[in-house]
Structure 1
Amino acid sequence: MKYQVLSRIPLKNLMDLKIDFAFKHLFGSERNKSLTIVLLNAILKRTGRNTIKEVTFMKHEFGGEYKEDKQSRLDVVVKTQNEDYINIEIQLANRNDMFKRTLFYWSRLYNSQLHRGNGYHTLNPTITINICDFTLFKEHAHYHSTYRLYEETTLQRVQQSDDVLEIHFIEMDKFLKAWQMGELNPIEDMLARWLLLLGMVDSSKQKVYEDIYKVLGELAMKDIKLQQAFEAWQELSQDPESIIAFESRVKFLIDQTAFIDDAKYHGEQAGIEKGRKEGFQKGMQEGIERGIQKGIQKGIEEGIQEGIKAIVRKMIGKGNSDDEIMELTNLTVEEIQALRQEEE
Structure 2
Amino acid sequence: MNRKALKRIPLNKLIDLKIDLAFKQLFGNDKNKEITIVFLNAILQKTGRNTIKEVLFINKELSGEHLEDKESRLDIIVRTQDGELINIEMQLSNENDMMKRTLYYWSRLFVDQLSRGKSYHTLLPTITINICNFTFFKTIHYHSTYHLFENQSLQRLAPQDDVLEIHFIEMTKFLQTWRKEQLNSLDDILARWLLLLGMVDARKQKVYDDIYNELEVLALKDERLQQAFDTWQELSQNPDTIIAYHSRLKTIIDEEAKLDYARHQGIEEGIQKGIQEGLVQQNKQIAQKMIAKGKSDEEIQDLTELPLEEIQRLRLGN
- Common topology (TM > 0.5): yes
Offset from partner CA, 1:172-228 (integer Å, 9 cap, x none): 111111111111112111111111111111112222222222222222223221111
**3-state SS in 1 of match to 2:61:** coil
Following superposition, the deviation at residue 273 of structure 1 comes to 2.4
> What secondary structure does 2:293 align onto?
helix
Give the stretch that moved more between structures: 191-200 or 110-119: 110-119
Partner deviation per Cα, 1:87-133 (whole Å, 9 max, x = no partner): 10111111222222211211111111122222221111111101111
* Corresponding residue SS for 1:45: helix
Residue 55 (structure 2) aligns with: 55
* 2:154 matched residue in structure 1: 155
Aligned equivalents of 1:47 and 1:278: distance in 2? 51
Aligned pair 1:115/2:115, yes or no? yes
2:14 aligned residue: 14
Match of 1:301 in 2: none
Q: Percent identity?
A: 58
Instruction: Flag structure 2 segments of 5+ consecutive residues without an equivalent.
Output: 296-318
> Does the 8 Å contact 1:176/1:199 carry over to 2?
yes
Check 1:212–1:67 CA distance in 2 against 1; reply closer, same or farther (3 A cut): farther
Give the aligned partner of residue 201 of structure 1: 200
User: Which runs of no fewer than 5 residues in structure 1 stay unpaired?
Assistant: 297-344
Q: Would the alpha carbon gap of residues 241 and 70 (structure 1) be closer, same or farther in structure 2, given more than 3 Å must change?
A: farther
**Where in structure 2 are the equivalents of 1:1-344 lying within 5 Å?**
4-7=5-8, 9-45=9-45, 50-62=50-62, 70=71, 75-138=75-138, 140-160=139-159, 162-281=161-280, 283-285=282-284, 287-295=286-294
Q: Distance in 1 between matches of 2:176 and 2:231?
A: 27
CA separation of 1:255 and 1:235: change in aligned 2, threshold 3 A: same
| Amino acid paired to 1:4 | A
Bigger Cα Rg:
1
Give distance in 1, aligned partners of 2:160 and 2:127.
Answer: 13
Do the aligned partners of 1:56 and 1:79 also contact (CA within 8 Å) in 2?
Answer: yes
Letter in 1 for 2:79: K
Change in Cα spacing, 1:185 to 1:160, as seen in structure 2 (3 Å) is: closer
TM-score, normalization: structure 1? 0.78
- Using the size of structure 2 for normalisation, the TM-score is 0.84
CA separation of 1:27 and 1:55: change in aligned 2, threshold 3 A: same
State the SS of the aligned residue for 1:79.
strand
8 Å CA contact 1:187–1:219 kept in 2: the answer is yes
**Could you tell me how far apart the structure 2 residues matched to 1:39 and 1:68 are?**
33
How much has 1:28 moved relative to structure 2?
Answer: 0.6
Change (3 A) 1:277 1:169: same
Q: Secondary structure at the match of 1:295?
A: coil
Select the structure that is richer in helix: 1
